[in-house]
Amino acid sequence: MELDVTRLRSRFASGAAPAETIYGDQGARPAARELVPASVLVPIVARPEALTVLLTRRTAHLRDHSGQIAFPGGRAEPRDRTPEATALREAREEIGLDPARVELIGRLSDYHTRTGFRVTPVVGVVTPPFDLRPDADEVDAVFEVPLAFLLDPRNHQRHSREIQGRTVHYFAIPYAEHYIWGATAGMLVNLYRTLAGA
């Protein structure tokens, strides 16, 4: 699926719902009132040669999802009026991304995690140039992946593993030395389904 910024904006503006989205981690069905609200920014970088998606690798010492590939984001705070405010604040805190460089264009379906979060993915177009200052306590690396690669369903792998005595299934999108899986891969699959259905 080849997209430029204009087509990306129009697909979100159309409001067309995807035929199906991934609700959350396989087997994650906690009651909505028990979920902690959180947001991530899905930062699509408007490079002249092609659109890319900015991703982070979390540091190994973190309690949750250590070493995993993730979007910048985190739990909502009382001062955050909207999921968009949470996503922009977290992106500034985690990687030093200036909110002025981000044009918010839409949301994906909420994603429920097995660790008890209701994550709202907020999609934004990031205009270069920008300087990043990753928080060394949270982020081990920041890198970009071509959007076309992430939106190609041939790169969406399905895997399974045993967790607490049961088999659970999840998506993975390996890219170069990076293994994108779990919630991040699930949200990227939802991005593909949303754009394909628009």
**Which pLDDT score, from 0 to 100, does residue 131 have?**
94
Say if strands 166-175 and 139-146 run parallel, antiparallel, or are unpaired: unpaired
pTM as predicted: 0.92
Query: Per the structure block, which two tokens stand in for 26?
Result: 């396989």
- Express each pLDDT in 5-37 by its tens digit: 999 999 898 876 666 778 777 655 556 667 999
CA dist 69 to 5, 54, 160, 171, 185, Å?
24, 10, 18, 13, 9
At 137-180, the pLDDT tens digits run: 989 999 999 999 999 999 999 998 877 777 878 999 999 999 99
Mean pLDDT of the chain: 89
Distance CA 45, CA 29 (A): 33
The arithmetic mean of pLDDT across residues 181-189, rounded, is 95
Query: Quick check: 64 pLDDT over 60?
Result: no
Whole-number Å distance between alpha carbons of 123 and 108? 7
The answer to whether 69 touches 166, Cβ cutoff 8 Å, is: no
Helix (H) or strand (E) holding 11: helix 5-13
Domains of the chain: 5-197 (3.90.79.10)
